[in-house]
Amino acid sequence: MTDRWALAPAEDGGVELAPLGPDGLPAGPVLREADLARAVRERPGVTRWVWRSTAEVYPRLLATGVRVERCYDVEDAETLLLGHEGRYGEPRSAAAALARLRGGPVPPDPPQRSAAPGAQAQSSLFEPRSVQAAPLPLADLAEVYAEQQRRHTRTEHPDRMRLLTAAESAGMLVAAEMNRAGLPWSAEVHRAVLHDLLGERYTGGGEPRRLAELADEVSAAFGRRVRPDLPADVLKAFGQAGIRVRSTRRWELQSLDHPAVKPLIEYKKLYRIWVAHGWSWLHDWVREGRFRPEFLAHGTVTGRWVTNGGGALQIPKVIRRAVVADPGWRLVVADADQMEPRVLAAISRDPGLMEVAGQESDLYQSVSDRAFSGDRDQAKLAVLGAVYGQTSGDGLKNLAALRRRFPRAVAYVDEAARAGEEGRLVRTWLGRTCPPAAGAGETGTDEAGIPVDPVAPAEGAEPEESRPWVPGYASSDARARGRFARNFVVQGSAADWALLLLAALRRTCADMAAELVFFQHDEVIVHCPEEEAEAVVAAIKEAAGLAGRLTFGETPVRFPFTTAVVECYADAK
């Protein structure tokens, strides 16, 4: 019996399924069964299910306690293949792929769904979500799949592209399982934190006591009533005080000498918490001790994940106190150490940088010892400048020093930048492709972006504590596209590696009670019984090494993690 089967939900609620042959087409009759979960459960020998969309099928299986080992997501693969072929913007549904294959009119993709908080969205947060698209007969699905296999063969590096597609499909499974599991969350602790920070809640939905007090302090400092939550009002007040300021960003306010600055910065910090993670957020997003955002794998151009509502990837440090393990369980919180510079070493094959990245010690310190006379801060600025395109002022001097010591690494990102400026396709190591020009696809304001001044964010800084970042992908300027392409080859390759890390870790956790509950760029959280914590820590280290070898081949580069076994997320950092 073949270990690869196609599966297609039918209009009547049942399912069509069939084994697939080496050519990707059905190798036997198409079967019909009335129950999806039973159809999968009764075929334990199937190790890879080929289906149209993981979001369509897998939540229904998880709701009945059925997990699968591997899958192939046809629509996800179509997105990757269209990008590799330079056909960004074309519909990526399986129906569209079939129409292109047969030379017929190509239907548009269904509209994107949203998960805004509120009563109407609650069912979507805690129940499987269906994809609004007409079912595709299994024979048609297999036809698209078989053609995709041929298209993989025609790519620049077929083996890498197949690995990327497999990794993406694995990531879709991980995302669905994390959505089902939820992040452990104590509503009681959350309410206590809000009370400590914001004070009493006023009836009628007004600002809590502490915000009202700070607003009064801001107004008193300006000598007139000012709304701290309205940037235009704040800018006007500074202007009337004879101070010219371009924005109300924290870094800019801190440079001003005015009595309103201190209460204004405190107000902005607490206002953000009140709006983004206050009592209303707690009511909308936490149920039965779990916060369940909808994780979306490859939500950005670079392959980084996003969440559909809930702000899971921007949980303030103080609110992390509410992320508490179940009794007798622990949170294993793991952060990849200086992941992007290590990825740059692996993809550029720079001998010197690979040697540095082959150590599990502080990479920036090692770079500084070789090229910056032991000045770690300068070394860090140089490496980040090479990745993000900071090439003016001190950044240019730092980059020159880095180029002398690690020429192949700098040349690699320089070439990516030139390709981006010229409108050429730029790819990650495995083959994920950046659009040739801005505006050709998704923008995603949460991409890493480009720093607009030479000062990089502090290590461990919250997003709102960092210097301003601009999404170069959204700009039509050629230099901005070049800076984005420079970052894309590194950040995107890091995202590819992270997918394989998750796939390996998921496979290990399948034999334990441990469950993956959170993932963000270079951080993963596993919720596990206390007695499994040491095994999970070892599994993360092993998965990181395996992901490095699978993604980049045999290189000296290592991908160490800093891990913490804690009861509360806030205690991990």
Q: Is the pLDDT of residue 166 over 50?
A: yes
Segment 24-52 mean pLDDT: 95
Q: Is the pLDDT of residue 457 over 50?
A: no
Burial of 487: CB neighbours in 10 Å, binned 0-12, 13-18, 19+: buried
Backbone angles phi, psi at 102, to 5 degrees: -95, 0
For the question of whether the overall pTM of this predicted structure is more than 0.85, the answer is: yes
Segment 178-193 mean pLDDT: 97
- pLDDT for 393: 62
Place of tokens 């001097």: 397
Mean pLDDT of the chain: 87
Q: Is the pLDDT of residue 449 over 60?
A: no
Tell how strand 4-9 and strand 48-51 pair up: parallel
Segment 253-282 mean pLDDT: 94
- pLDDT for 128: 39
CA distance 34 to 14: 4
Best CA proximity match to 310, nearest among 564, 180, 523, 121:
121
Question: Which residues make Cβ contacts (< 8 Å) with residue 134, sequence separation at least 6?
Answer: 95
Question: Which residues make Cβ contacts (< 8 Å) with residue 168, sequence separation at least 6?
Answer: 73, 76, 77, 80, 297, 298, 303, 499
Q: Which residue has the higher pLDDT, 531 or 438?
A: 531
Instruction: Specify whether the CB–CB gap between 301 and 434 falls below 8 A.
Output: yes
Establish how many alpha carbons lie within 13 A of residue 92's alpha carbon, considering only the half-sphere containing its beta carbon: 21
- pLDDT for 373: 83
Instruction: Tell me the pLDDT tens digit for each residue of 335-361.
Output: 999 999 999 999 999 999 999 999 988
Segment 53-79 mean pLDDT: 96
Q: Which two tokens stand for residue 560?
A: 């160490």
> Helix, strand, coil % (nearest 5) of the chain?
50, 10, 40
Q: Which residue has the higher pLDDT, 395 or 60?
A: 60
**Confidence band for 39, pLDDT divided at 50, 70 and 90:** very high
SS3 for 261? helix
Place of tokens 């939500």: 299
CA distance 363 to 340: 11
Highest mean pLDDT among 1-15, 217-231, 436-450: 217-231
- pLDDT for 378: 87
Best CA proximity match to 94, nearest among 58, 151, 65, 133:
133
Q: Which two tokens stand for residue 338?
A: 């200086």
Torsion-angle region of 460 (φ positive above 0: left; ψ -120 to 50: alpha; else: beta): left
CA distance 413 to 394: 19
Instruction: Specify whether the CB–CB gap between 430 and 167 falls below 8 A.
Output: yes
Lowest mean pLDDT across 267-276, 383-392, 464-473: 464-473
Establish how many alpha carbons lie within 13 A of residue 343's alpha carbon, considering only the half-sphere containing its beta carbon: 28
Reported as type and span, the H/E element at residue 8 is strand 4-9
Buried b (16+ CB within 10 A) or exposed e, 230-253: eeeebbebbeeeeeebeebebeeb
DSSP string covering 415-452: HHHHHHHTT--EE-SS--EE-SSTTSS---TTS--EES
CA distance 48 to 6: 9
Lowest mean pLDDT across 29-38, 73-82, 176-185, 359-368: 359-368
Question: Which residues make Cβ contacts (< 8 Å) with residue 125, sequence separation at least 6?
Answer: 115, 284, 285, 287, 292, 294, 309, 310
DSSP string covering 307-325: ESSS-GGG--TTGGGG-BP
Segment 534-555 mean pLDDT: 97
Best CA proximity match to 284, nearest among 321, 314, 316, 309:
309
